[in-house]
Homo-oligomer: A and B are copies of this chain.
Amino acid sequence: MDLLEIRKELDILDREIVHLFEKRMGLVEDVARFKLDTGKAVLDSKREKEKLQVARSYVEDPKLQESITELFQEMMSMSRRKQIGMLLERGRGFSSGFQKLGCLPFSGKSLVYQGAEGAYSYLAGRIFFQKENMIACTHFQEVLSALEEGRADYAILPMENSTYGMVQDNFDLLAKHPKLYVVQEIEFPVSHCLATLPGESFSDIKRVYSHPQALSQCADFFQKHPEIQGIPSLNTAIAAKNLMETGEKGAGVLCSREAALEYGLLILEENLSKKENSTRFFILGKEAVFSKDAGKLSISFSLPHAVGSLYHILGNFLFNGLTLTMIQSRPVGDGEFSYRFYVDFLGNLEQKEVLNALSCLQEEGVDFRVLGNYPSKEFKR
């Protein structure tokens, strides 16, 4: 056979495969309808496994057994999504437990943040909250405790920086607080200036204090000035406040322009970090709520140690037409190298594609959790 003939035969075969597949999906619908009408459970993972065994037994060439398994896993995954869709249409299946609200009640409410006035968390929080309702804490852990214990209505946490990556500790904190929910995302530009006490000049500076991420974001500056030492502190604005209070000579800080001004420091240089540098903040609340303008979801799950489990999990997004915007993993913390995954994707809890994907994820993942469904606000300076 030459290439043209083989291809002609392939086309005939493919047409037949499409036809059989359509027929199969119709039968799967019949099964689901029958089960729904007679009150039987629709999803049946035991039968799925048996079906895989049977399909393998049909193969003539033993080398193709793995491929057949792959093909049938895919077909059964599609069938499952179809069946879940039918369940959802009848008001059954997955319930997120989230309440729909008209809008998020930030007005007059309080927000707890880490740092001091002028910190990036503070500046991002001020987009939605009044100055007199901002509450400062020294550590991120205290921020979440303050929220949980009712000393604040909302909390703000930096989660990810476009240059530096995820704030690992804060993802771990989220995992430890299952009763807190993301209600708003803010993308806020980060731009550090070098500030010092009035009366000091650039040549006096020997030490520069700031948050480790800020020090790392200004690596170019430290490479240009090897005589200046970077010293980690808890927060950029706390570094600025401390410098004002201690009056330490020969010292500078990397902080926001606003923090430098707040604490009466002299700005020596601006825009020390990369131009395109922004941080994603989460505003967290205690209620599982979402609004109709919520366009993004965050979820987390662990995975059973089966080969391919992440692959099948991702298929639930892909084949529901959902767009992933982030995937990250963190060690579960059992001392083994096993992971919890964090996934963000676009959607709203009222979309049937979203509910379909979440239903499947709940079946397949361990410790599955919807962290929130929230609107996103990008702030430009």
* A residues adjacent to B (C-beta < 8 A): 1-3, 6-7, 9-11, 13-25, 27-28, 30-31, 34-35, 51, 54-55, 58-61, 64, 66-68, 70-72, 74-75, 78, 160-166, 168-169, 212, 216, 232, 274-278, 280, 307-308, 310-311, 314-315, 317-319, 321-331, 333-337, 339
Q: Count the copies.
A: 2
**Is there contact, CB below 8 Å, between B6 and A24?**
no
User: Do A6 and B27 contact each other (CB < 8 Å), given the known contacts A70-B319, A168-B164, A314-B311?
Assistant: yes
A66, A307, A321: most-surrounded residue (chain B CB, <10 A)? A307
| Bound: A216/B167 CA distance, A | 13
**Is there contact, CB below 8 Å, between B324 and A318?**
no
Further contacts, 6 of them, CB under 8 A, given A9-B27, A17-B21: A11-B54, A17-B24, A67-B78, A70-B78, A164-B331, A310-B324
Which residues on B sit within 8 Å (CB–CB) of A14? 24, 51, 54-55, 58, 72
Which residues on B sit within 8 Å (CB–CB) of A277? 335
User: Do A7 and B31 contact each other (CB < 8 Å), given the known contacts A165-B168, A307-B323, A333-B163?
Assistant: yes
Which residues on B sit within 8 Å (CB–CB) of A337? 160, 162, 280, 325-326
| Partner of A22 from B15, B60, B318 at Cβ < 8 Å | B60
**Is there contact, CB below 8 Å, between B31 and A3?**
yes
- Sorted nearest first, the 5 A-B pairs with minimum C-beta distance are A276-B335, A308-B318, A18-B58, A232-B232, A311-B314
